[in-house]
Amino acid sequence: MTGLQLAGLLCAAALALTQGGCGRTGPGAAPADPAPDSASAPADRPDPSAAPAEDQREEEGIMYLQLGDVLWTATLEDNPSAQAWRELLEQGPLTVRLSDFGGFEKVGELGTTLPRSDSQITTRPGDIILYLGSNVTIYYGENTWNFTRLGHIDGVADDQLRQVLKAGGEDVTVTFSLTAPQ
């Protein structure tokens, strides 16, 4: 038998195996033209039991901040402190009274201590920072220090941030949560 004949024989055998026996009949044989199963999902529809869709996984990195009638979302950082923050919020919404400090931030006590992941950073407006492990701050200005960034408020203009936080003025109350308030 030549190499070409052997290759042809192997291809024919492989084709027969992938075609379910090519017309094989009897018990266990697949029908030649199976009827569509109405219970099966179309190929273009995702399997609901499969892994969560990308947008659902992204929701795991989102938290909500409510200040009066204003609702913001923030994207959580990926560090051990942000994970501890998330675990704290999994217990339920956390309301914190924030006071102005230094003309660039609002700061409030958490009532608990979280692990710190400090590094030298320069904050920017909208940063949510863990300070000394037991305080949360929302920045409306910049500051450079050893801080732990927990997250950043999404899509809020600096002037709106300053207005809602009453920058340089009176205290504000913020409720942090992992689910959107009803």
Percent of the chain residues topping a pLDDT of 90? 66
Q: In the structure encoding, which two tokens stand for residue 71, read together? A: 């609702």
Confidence band for 59, pLDDT divided at 50, 70 and 90: low
Question: Across all residues in the chain, what is the average pLDDT?
Answer: 78
Q: What's the pLDDT at 134?
A: 98
Mean pLDDT confidence for 147-161:
97
Residue 77 CB contacts under 8 Å (≥ 6 apart), including other chains: 149, 150, 151, 152
| Predicted pLDDT of residue 182 | 82
Q: What is the pLDDT of residue 33?
A: 42
Is pLDDT at 122 greater than 70 in this prediction? Answer: yes
- For the segment 116-141, the average pLDDT, to the nearest whole number, is 97
Q: What are phi and psi of 125, to 5 degrees?
A: -55, 130
Domains and CATH numbers, the chain: 59-177 (2.40.100.20)
Residue 60's pLDDT is 78
Q: Does residue 91 register a pLDDT over 90?
A: yes
Extract long-range pairs of 119-123: CB within 8 Å, 24+ residues apart. 119/146, 119/147, 119/148, 120/144, 120/145, 120/146, 121/145, 121/146, 121/147, 121/149, 123/147, 123/149
Lowest mean pLDDT among 49-53, 101-105, 136-140: 49-53
Round to whole Å and give the CA distance between 182 and 177: 12
63-77 pLDDT per residue, tens: 999 999 999 999 999
pLDDT band at 4 (very low <50, low <70, confident <90, very high): very low
